[in-house]
């Protein structure tokens, strides 16, 4: 089918057939992408040689081109017998022109800057660093890749499903004769993750083989596809409202939206939906919605489970900074674990692209008077502080315009602290906040809106901020400050090291240049809530190890909430987490803590929940805390739940109906998932709950459950809902298939598709759940 370079030469007639088949497949996929005849698509399909860079001495020519599916990039090695490799355009997170990746900066010279570009991947996959033959060619590769990746993102879910199924059909056609034998049909069923017994496969085949030839071709394959993708649950819903000669009229559609989806709708809205989603021109002309048009409409992002209004920034961003939950990362420089894992500027890029607004920099003296970042007293690799700052500057505001906090763990000598201050000042320039906004001593935090595009430094300061406004008191006693708990013992691997540190009772000498850069986030010790209330200014904040914070959140929740009305609190994982695992952030949010820092590099349930919390408000990385957590006299306590404005008892009714196109959890040909669905609520202790469906055996393609669950939610403003699909295993733990987490108050009611994310938090292109949601006031 693919007629790749490097294969044995084909006969002329076979070559012509192969070329014709290839063009037919390209034409079909280009049409789906609405890129027929597009010069950028043609450029990628033609492909070309690029220099792949792995080290200063390893730079080798590789031939790259886009395959016929318009989705997969193919790379040919020049080495005999070496396997060719592929990657999907769906796995690309960004394409960067120039020497901006860590690999290109290390392994190439300045003079090739204009010819370099990097392909960044989602998840933990390493960048692909490439050099083109000219600047013009590099720009062409970058712009063409960006255009096709963007076109693929714009496909609606139904189109993605069709594209995926078509690709599987082509793959199952082993001899590339555009016919489907019965054995090829069974192979296809396994590819799409459904196991059927021989009798059912035979029945399906006979039903479609109208010509009785023993093969399916053309229209017969289309009929097979239609049978396969038929969704009975959609038929039932559509049939209930399609009252106009088997179609939905505008009024029928309004009735559906208002009665089932619990949304307001007018006839004008219905006409607009029909114009936008109806694929049949005859039906569109008659102002009717067919079943296909209805399914297209139900797959549109605006009709899915997440309230589309919440996709954009919709909260008040003019409140003081400390009134928001802030997406925060711990040990941001690490790609893996904190004992031996590599440090990389790419880790900062990935966290920032995920909307993280508080990143951590552990800085130590380096050689050549250049400070370095790494995890102290471990075998993690090192990166230059200035390179990290450059990467942060470049990527800080790609996902969100709102401020980024640089949390400094400073272990440097005064001399190298001065270098740190110089780098931050020269690289970040006017975006770095080095003095309070406005005139005079501030009495509270500025807002995220006022700080758009700005960087704040969190770290030690020699004196109070007030001293800046009283010249006679400006001089500090000396340049010593006691190291804070987090700098001293934040991530030590064992008790012995902590004891050694305590005995040393080190004083940290602080450079004035660095001290003066700390304005709104001065690190101080925590000596209790009363002490903080009496002695600390609003900008003086403490960091808490997770165990200490969890204890306070359980035993003194209301005091912690009141403390966080005025002050910022940062929480970080305990030092025993040498594998860079995470803790559950929810109890800390319940206590009003703003900067709940997690290891972004570690895929886990806790990171999924974190991503769900910050999924809304335009993925800005800032979520406004509920009003009852912003009141200095609040009586709210998440543990005891006394009566108050926070108590809004709701009943959540969930019907898990079906799923579509679930991925395999391993690549074995015979492996088929036995999916089950869990519906979980995260929030205050009274709201934490979990329900689970039965497992459907041997069907990841279109399993159906039709199971109803009911869950109570008492504090909806703090609750999150998580849908998880697992592959059931009776002898060991179930395997993760996909999940989606979102705030309870962002749920849309009615019949909704739920997108599914993989373990790295990236969207699974075709997989989804189909559910019915109803939220009612509890009696």
698 is in an annotated binding site: yes
102 is in an annotated binding site: no
62 is in an annotated binding site: yes
| Token pair belonging to 413 | 């000598």
71 is in an annotated binding site: yes
Catalytic residue among 100, 163, 277, 330: 330
Report the C-alpha gap between 234 and 81 in whole angstroms. Answer: 50
212 is in an annotated binding site: no
Of 223, 749, 339, 232, nearest to 581 by C-alpha is: 339
460 is in an annotated binding site: yes
330 assigned to active site: yes
643 is in an annotated binding site: no
631 is in an annotated binding site: no
Query: How many other CB atoms are found less than 10 A from the CB of residue 587?
Result: 25
Strands (E), 115-179: 116-121, 128-131
58 is in an annotated binding site: yes
Report the C-alpha gap between 662 and 768 in whole angstroms. Answer: 7
569 is in an annotated binding site: no
| Token pair belonging to 131 | 């050099």
3-class DSSP string for 195-209: CCCHHHHHHHHHHHC
625 is in an annotated binding site: no
Report the C-alpha gap between 443 and 396 in whole angstroms. Answer: 28
598 is in an annotated binding site: no
772 assigned to active site: no
3-class DSSP string for 463-510: CCHHHHHCHHHCCCCCCEEECCHHHHHCCCCCHHHHHHHHHHCCEEEC
Q: How far is CA 400 from the centre of its chain?
A: 13
| Token pair belonging to 438 | 């406005």
- Find the angle CA(284)-CA(288)-CA(292) to the nearest 5 degrees: 80
70 is in an annotated binding site: yes
543 is in an annotated binding site: yes
Integer-rounded Cα Rg, in Å, for the chain is 29
59 is in an annotated binding site: yes
56 is in an annotated binding site: yes
534 is in an annotated binding site: no
- List for the chain the helix, strand, coil content (%; round to 5): 35, 25, 40
322 is in an annotated binding site: no
Catalytic residue among 299, 310, 375, 423: 375
708 and 654 in contact (C-beta within 8 Å)? Answer: yes
412 is in an annotated binding site: no
Report the C-alpha gap between 593 and 585 in whole angstroms. Answer: 9
426 is in an annotated binding site: no
End-to-end CA, the chain: 63
Q: At what angle do helices 345-353 and 385-395 cross, to 10 degrees?
A: 20
694 and 705 in contact (C-beta within 8 Å)? Answer: yes
For the annotated binding site for Ca(2+), the residues are 331, 360, 362, 409, 672, 674, 698, 727, 729
For the annotated binding site for substrate, the residues are 52-79, 458, 460, 543, 570
For the annotated binding site, the residues are 52-79, 331, 360, 362, 409, 458, 460, 543, 570, 672, 674, 698, 727, 729
Catalytic residues: 330, 375
């Amino acid at each position: 089918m693919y007629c790749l370079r490097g294969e044995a030469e084909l006969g002329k007639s076979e070559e012509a057939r192969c070329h014709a088949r290839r063009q037919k497949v390209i034409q079909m996929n280009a049409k789906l992408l609405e890129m027929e005849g597009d010069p950028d698509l043609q450029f990628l399909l033609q492909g070309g040689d690029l220099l792949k860079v792995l080290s200063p001495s390893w730079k080798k020519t590789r031939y790259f081109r886009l395959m016929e599916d318009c989705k997969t990039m193919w790379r040919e090695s020049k080495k005999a017998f070496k396997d060719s490799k592929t990657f999907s355009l769906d796995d690309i997170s960004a394409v960067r022109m120039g020497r901006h990746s860590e690999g290109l900066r290390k392994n190439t010279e300045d003079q090739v800057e204009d010819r370099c570009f990097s392909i960044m991947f989602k998840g933990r996959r390493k960048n692909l660093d490439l050099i083109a033959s000219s600047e013009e060619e590099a720009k062409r590769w970058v712009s063409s890749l960006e255009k096709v990746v963007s076109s693929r993102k714009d496909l609606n879910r139904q189109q993605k499903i069709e594209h995926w199924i078509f690709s599987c059909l082509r793959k199952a056609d082993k001899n590339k004769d555009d016919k489907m034998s019965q054995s090829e049909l069974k192979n296809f069923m396994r590819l799409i993750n459904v196991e059927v017994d021989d009798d059912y496969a035979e029945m399906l085949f006979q039903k479609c083989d109208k010509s009785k030839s023993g093969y399916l071709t053309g229209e017969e394959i289309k009929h097979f596809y239609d049978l396969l993708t038929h969704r009975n649950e959609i038929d039932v819903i559509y049939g209930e409202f399609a009252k106009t000669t088997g179609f939905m009229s505008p009024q029928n559609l309004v009735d559906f939206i208002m009665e089932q989806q619990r949304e307001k709708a007018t006839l004008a809205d219905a006409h607009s939906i029909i114009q936008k989603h109806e694929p049949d021109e005859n039906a569109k002309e008659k102002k009717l919605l067919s079943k296909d048009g209805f399914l297209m409409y139900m797959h549109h992002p605006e009709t899915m489970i997440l309230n589309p209004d919440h996709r954009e920034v919709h909260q008040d961003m003019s409140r003081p900074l400390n009134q928001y939950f802030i997406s925060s990362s711990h040990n941001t420089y690490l790609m893996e674990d904190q004992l031996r894992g590599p440090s990389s500027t790419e880790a900062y890029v990935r966290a920032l692209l995920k909307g993280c607004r508080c990143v951590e920099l552990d800085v130590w003296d380096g050689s050549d008077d250049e400070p370095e970042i790494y995890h102290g007293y471990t075998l993690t690799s090192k990166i230059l502080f200035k390179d990290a700052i450059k990467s942060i500057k470049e990527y800080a505001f790609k996902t969100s315009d709102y401020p980024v906090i640089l949390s400094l763990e400073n272990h440097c000598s005064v001399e190298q602290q001065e270098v740190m201050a110089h780098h931050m000042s020269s690289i970040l320039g006017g975006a770095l906040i080095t003095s309070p906004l406005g005139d005079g001593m501030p009495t509270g935090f500025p807002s995220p809106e006022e700080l758009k595009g700005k960087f704040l430094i969190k770290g030690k300061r020699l004196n109070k901020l007030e001293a800046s406004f009283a010249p006679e008191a400006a001089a500090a006693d000396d340049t010593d400050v006691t190291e804070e708990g987090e700098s001293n013992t934040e991530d030590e691997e064992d008790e012995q090291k902590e004891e050694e540190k305590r005995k040393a009772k080190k004083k940290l000498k602080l450079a004035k240049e660095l001290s003066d850069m700390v304005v709104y986030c001065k690190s101080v010790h925590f000596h209790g809530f009363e002490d903080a209330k009496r002695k600390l200014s609003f900008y003086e904040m403490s960091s808490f190890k997770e165990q200490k914070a969890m204890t306070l959140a359980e035993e003194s929740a209301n005091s912690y909430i009141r403390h966080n009305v005025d002050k910022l609190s940062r929480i970080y994982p305990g030092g025993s987490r040498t594998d860079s695992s995470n803790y559950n952030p929810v109890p800390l949010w319940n206590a009003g803590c703003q900067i709940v820092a997690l290891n972004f590099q570690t895929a886990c349930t806790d990171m999924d929940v974190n991503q769900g919390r910050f999924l809304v408000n335009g993925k800005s990385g800032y979520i406004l805390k509920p009003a009852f957590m912003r009141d200095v006299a609040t009586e709210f306590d998440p543990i005891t739940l006394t009566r108050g404005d926070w108590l809004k008892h709701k009943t959540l009714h969930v019907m898990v109906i079906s799923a579509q196109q679930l991925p395999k959890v391993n690549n074995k040909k015979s492996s088929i998932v036995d999916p089950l669905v869990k519906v979980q609520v995260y929030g205050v202790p009274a709201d934490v709950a979990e329900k689970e469906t039965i497992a459907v055996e041997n069907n990841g393609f279109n399993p159906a459950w039709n199971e109803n669950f009911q869950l109570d939610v008492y504090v909806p403003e703090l609750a999150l809902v998580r849908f998880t699909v697992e592959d059931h295993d009776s002898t060991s733990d179930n395997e993760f298939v996909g999940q989606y987490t979102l705030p309870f108050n962002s749920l849309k009611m009615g019949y909704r598709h739920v997108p599914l994310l993989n373990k790295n938090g990236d969207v699974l292109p075709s997989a989804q759940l189909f559910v019915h949601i109803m939220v009612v006031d509890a009696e």
